[in-house]
Amino acid sequence: MPRESFKAVNEICLVDIRNKYFKYVDRDTGEVTDRKIEDVHSEISSIILSTQVPKEIQSSFNTARKLALYSWYCYAFHQTAEMKAFSSLEEALKLKFGSTNKGLRDLIKKALNHCDIRDRGFQHIAPPEDPESIEYSLKLVDLIPSMRNRLAHGSQTLHNQSGLTLSICADFINQLFTYEKDN
């Protein structure tokens, strides 16, 4: 694994070479081109929180978005962006349910029980046949804390999938503040 080094001032705005290993595929034409900062910006700018989400959560999540964008210049920012997205999700859960001593896993379970969190609200998966399906959502009870903990407690994880993590967290946060579960 390459070691991270501090960039010289004249290198700050240069792409991290690891980003050049990946290509962009146009979904409409199938054309393969070199990935550009514009592609990263387009991907990240499409991940947005609802206006119903409290401003402090929107601000926190926008920091995650900026880190994901700046990963173009510093590849390791992908995982920093993921950590900030997970932190924004946990902050949103605590705000929704009041300050609590519960951990992230318990807060996600509480959201599944008290809010209208459904698979249909996650844009990165195929729409379920049953609009009330929570099959995928239930997997997030273990998946999100596991991913967050791996990063938080020391990991050599390095990948360029921060956009996916931000998308999952944004979709969860949006559902958390958009709909109340019918009882």
DSSP reduced 3-state for 42: helix
Residue 165 contacts residue 82 (beta carbons within 8 Å): yes
pLDDT of residue 101: 83
How high is the mean pLDDT in each 10-residue block of the chain (183 residues)?
83 94 90 94 97 97 98 96 98 91 94 94 95 96 96 86 97 89 52
pLDDT of residue 179: 66
pLDDT of residue 183: 46
Question: What is each CA distance from 118 to 4, 12, 35, 110, in whole angstroms?
Answer: 39, 42, 33, 13
Residue 173 contacts residue 115 (beta carbons within 8 Å): no
pLDDT of residue 182: 53
- pTM (predicted TM-score): 0.92
Residue with tokens 């962006």: 81
pLDDT of residue 155: 79
- Long-range contacts of 117-120, Cβ-Cβ distance < 8 Å, separation of 24 or more: 117/172, 117/175, 117/176, 118/175
pLDDT of residue 1: 46
